[in-house]
Amino acid sequence: MEVLQIVTYPDKFLRQPAKAVENIDGKLQKLIKNMAATMYQAPGVGLAAIQVGSDKSLIIYDELPNDEKHCLKVLINPKIIATEGSVLSENEGCLSVPDFRADVKRAAAVLVEGVDQDGKPVRIERDDFLAVVLQHEIDHLNGTLFIDRISALKREIYKRRIRKQLKSK
């Protein structure tokens, strides 16, 4: 397995919508394995293909992120079908938005549909931490970053900091 480079803000690639996966083939399976290696090394609890430079509609996440045993889940062409309630995702972060965390308003519960890595239909209902993870990763597939869901002031402070870092390189 190869650890892939994570695309970081302000790279414009993160803003493009992902394309539906047409074929679940060996190339896609390899991408899934490499994404898993990347996510676990980072470390993270979820990763969208767009974050590693692939325009595929694919996310991975770990159902037991704090457990020594990994429980990797794969969702291809995921869609949020329904949401309910509201929750504040405290101190949310992102591998593509390094060194920044913020509180983000998210749905408290989600219903997500897609297919697994074998092409079998999957329907997931969550009302816990993984509901937030699913929303965060599916946002990536739509070109949305968590900083798009915070106040304009906090977002601008982060953008200024990044511009300053890029100038000093």
Q: Which DSSP string do the residues of 86-149 spell out, in sequence order?
A: -EEEEEEEETTEEEEEEEEEE-SEEEEEEE-TTS-EEEEEE-SHHHHHHHHHHHHHTT--GGGG
95 contacts: CB under 8 Å, gap ≥ 6: 6, 8, 39, 42, 44, 47, 51
For 65, the 3-state DSSP assignment is: coil
For 1, the 3-state DSSP assignment is: coil
Is residue 137 part of the annotated active site? The answer reads: yes
Query: Could you say which of 2, 68, 137, 156 is catalytic?
Result: 137
Catalytic residues: 137
